[in-house]
Structure 1
């Protein structure tokens, strides 16, 4: 049986898949699995995060992280001319920065010691916080070179998409867990 281009286009349009109205979780477009995360040795289903695949052209190698502080988006470049786009929180006015860094360390449920500069601005902050749900670094942290900056989770998801940090890149805990699993120490990070 022969199909014309028009007939094939019509058939392709008819082959769309809708998610059932009762579905509570999205399917990860990268592996076709429900978005589930292993957290504190417990399998937890989370509400869908705002990450998704987008077309991405540029001079960046697959595996590179590109952050647009203006758009408040982080892109993890894949090998197919695409990237995974995540919503992020960025540095507030006077605390934004740009440049290239490398992930030098990864930590799950990291502890937090506010830097001296932050303690001068905010003497009310604790001098140390162990990792956990109340820790401002959230579920995961990716340390950027020898700088004070990190890409990290947040216990304040309402700040994602805003310019409120002291220069760190904030993500929802669900998204930082996803990104953490995709990157390695040595990954290049470009902040624009």
Structure 2
């Protein structure tokens, strides 16, 4: 029987995250060890992983940034590989802009939809946890590099905010609010 667990990602998950990334993402978008280490050093709440019987099957990352860095990232003025140095800690009274940098599950596994669903539903608790620190989430942003990424953004109620050219390709940029995420997940959850 399958035992599904969703929790915050830790350094001990890093090798499995990198393996999954290499298996599924184009090389230009694969996570680097130093990047993850730096992010986790700055904020322990940037990754959530889904494990099945102890084996990592997917992960998601929400990276808190200030407004300037958030906008520069979404519109191609700074490379994603540099934002690890700009990730914010959650401090009471601080405004944060959340870069939804990845949601990846093992799409070759027969239970991939179950893993995706677990991560998406976890977003509600994750948002509550972040807001519980006293920060104000002003906006979410995502660069969708796959069709699945476009679908996730649309299902979460994010609106297309433009396009960005990265690594010789053009990708859609989406933005949304906490309310968009909550409404999108509730609708998706009710629809099954």
TM-score, normalisation: structure 2 = 0.28
Higher relative contact order, structure no. (Cα contacts within 8 Å, ≥ 6 residues apart)? 1
If you compute each CA radius of gyration, which structure gives the higher value, 1 or 2?
1
Task: Report the TM-score, using the length of structure 1 for normalisation.
Answer: 0.28
